[in-house]
Amino acid sequence: MNKNTNNTIVATSFPSKEISLNGINYHVIDAGAGDNVVLLLHGQPDTASVWRYQIDALVKAGYRVIAPDMIGYGQTDKPQETARYQGELIIGDMVALLDTLELKQVDVIGHDWGAFVSWELVLNLPERFRRHVAVSVGHPDRMMSMSGPEEVKESWYMYLNGQPDTASLYAAKDGEFFKHFIIPTHPEIDEVWSRMQNPSALNGMLNWDRANQMSSFYLAMVSGESEPRKGQVPTLGIWSSGDTYLWEDQIKTSGALMDADWRYERIEGGSHWVMLDRAQEVNALILDWLENN
């Protein structure tokens, strides 16, 4: 891995390809070889390169790794229409990715919004996944059912991202508000801002929250419109004590909604981006889970 001249981290050591999925051109890292395949799904505001330490470790351990730049990020298309970022459409893109690569069953690892996608994949299509690792984010139904006033306050940024003037706020004064209040604990703030200075990229990031409003998820749960779903795919949950975005209980107690093996691991001191600042610990947990379940 290295950086180009505008501080953007690029995955020069990993082979990649462009794949059209439901009308969106995705940039996809496809590293390693063999029948044991791991799908890595990043979250906000990253690219597939946020997984670089995990990709390296997994490939060395004999796995093939598929890691797309998610829609709106990196070298993948950044449609400006909010509707294209609806969760069901992104989930459809990931299923299309597996089908295009002729992968009948894989392991999947997700972080942040990528973990929202990975959870929905394993809950809705358990036959396509052997094992699951969710970083930072618990079972979505558990997260919503536990959302009281304190938890909602923790998620204020999700609501802000859905407001009409947020893009202008984030872009003002060379990203001062964005860098100091939205991603202050990100290990690579300059790299992130080098990408978010592009209005299309910033709008793409915000479209994830606009298209998948947390208030709608919460309303569906508290109004009884949906029943909690039971997970059928063995899942490892990882959370770090330095995560200032998501509270621990939403992932720690997700085992109550599992009808498959469940394990929770807390890492001390890492940020929300624990795969970067506690890479060795995360790698050890992932490899142990994949090799022993």
261-293 pLDDT, tens digit per residue, is 999 999 999 999 999 999 999 999 999 999 998
Q: Is 288 helix (H, G, I), strand (E, B) or coil?
A: helix
Q: Which pTM does this prediction carry?
A: 0.93
Mean predicted confidence (pLDDT) in 179-188: 96
Largest CA distance in the chain: 52
Q: Is the model more confident about 6 or about 178?
A: 178
| Amino acid symbol at 199 | P
Average pLDDT over residues 3-29: 78
CA gap 164, 210 in Å, rounded: 9
Mean pLDDT of the chain: 91
Residue type, 26: Y
Q: What are phi and psi of 17, to 5 degrees?
A: -150, 165
Mean pLDDT value across residues 2-23: 71
More confident residue, 137 or 153: 137
Report the pLDDT value the prediction gives residue 216, as an integer from 0 to 100. 58
Average pLDDT over every residue of 237-251: 94
* Span 100-117, pLDDT tens digits: 999 999 999 999 999 999
Residue 75 has pLDDT above 70, yes or no: yes
Q: What is the rounded CA–CA span in Å between residue 285 and residue 30? A: 22
**Are 31 and 14 within 8 A, CB to CB?**
yes
Q: Is the pLDDT of residue 156 over 80?
A: no
Report the alpha-carbon distance of residue 202 to residue 170 in Å, rounded: 8
- Would you say residue 148 has pLDDT above 80? no
Backbone CA torsion sign across 248, 252, 256, 261:
positive
Residue 202 confidence (pLDDT) above 80? yes
Which letter does DSSP use for residue 39 in this model? Answer: E
Give which of 111, 26, 8 is closest to 70, Cα–Cα: 26
pLDDT greater than 90 at residue 222: no
Q: Does the pLDDT of residue 147 top 70, yes or no?
A: no
CATH fold of 2-292? Rossmann fold (3.40.50)
Q: Give 175's DSSP letter.
A: H
Domain ranges of the chain: 2-292
Structure token pair of residue 96: 């299309």
Identity of the amino acid at 44: Q
Radius of gyration of the chain from Cα atoms? Answer: 18
β-strands 129-135, 235-240 pairing? parallel
The pair of structure tokens assigned to 213 is 């409003």
Assess contact for 259 and 230: CB atoms under 8 A: yes
pLDDT at 215 over 80: no
Average pLDDT for 111-128: 97
pLDDT value, residue 164: 87
